[in-house]
Chain A
C-alpha cells in the first residue's frame, strides 16, 4: 500500500492564481480530510468528506473548494490564491468509526 499520497510536494503561486492540490489513498478509507499547518497554530481542518459525493466544511474553509467523486481521491482547489494561504497542507484519511488518521507527506505552498 502506498498509503496517503499528495502532489505536488512544493508549489509557488502568484496572488490570484488557481490550483488543485491532489490527494489519493489506497486503503479504502471512507473519511478524508484536508488540514493546513501554520507555525504556532497546529493543524486546522479545512474540509472533510465522509464518503464519495459527501463533503462538509471544517474550521477554516474560506477560499477552498473540495469534491469527492471517488473513494480514493479528494482534491483541494484554491480558486484565487492569496498570501494568507501560504501554508503546509496535509491530507488525511481513516476508516469510519475509528479515530486514527493516516496523513500524507504534505504540500508546501507559497503564495507571493
Chain B
C-alpha cells in the first residue's frame, strides 16, 4: 500500500525567506508524485508533478520539488516566500500513470509573516 507523510502540519516563514515543505512517501513501485495547493475556500490546484525523467521538477508560482528515490522524499521548495503563497499544501502519490487512486498526505498549512 502507498502512503504519504508530510512533516509539519503548520509551517511559518517570513516574507522573502526560503520555503521548505517536506513530503516522504512509501510505495512498492516507482511512484508518481504530486504537490497540490489549496487557497482559502477554494479547491485544489496542481502545483507540479513528477512522473519520469528529470528528478528536479519546476511548477507554477516559482515552486519546485526534487524526487529523491534513496530518501523516498519529494520536498517542495521556493527560494523566496511571498504573502500570496499562504495556503495549504498537499503532497500526493499514485502507483502509475492513470491510476485512479491518488493518496494524499495530511497537508501543511503555510503561513507567511510580513
Q: Which residues of A contact B (CB under 8 A)?
A: 4, 31, 33, 40-45, 48, 50, 56, 58-59, 90, 92, 96-101, 103-106
**Interface status of B34 (Cβ within 8 A of chain A):** yes
14 contacts between A and B (CB under 8 A): A41-B106, A42-B106, A96-B98, A97-B97, A98-B98, A99-B51, A99-B97, A99-B98, A99-B99, A101-B44, A101-B102, A104-B43, A105-B41, A105-B43
Whether A4 contacts B90 in the complex (CB less than 8 A), given A42-B104, A58-B101, A99-B102, comes out as: no
Size class of the contact patch on chain B: 20 to 34
Interface of B is mostly: loop
Q: How far is the CB of A85 from chain B (nearest CB, A)?
A: 19
Top 8 closest pairs, chain A to chain B, by CB: A103-B43, A42-B104, A97-B98, A103-B44, A43-B104, A42-B106, A105-B43, A48-B100
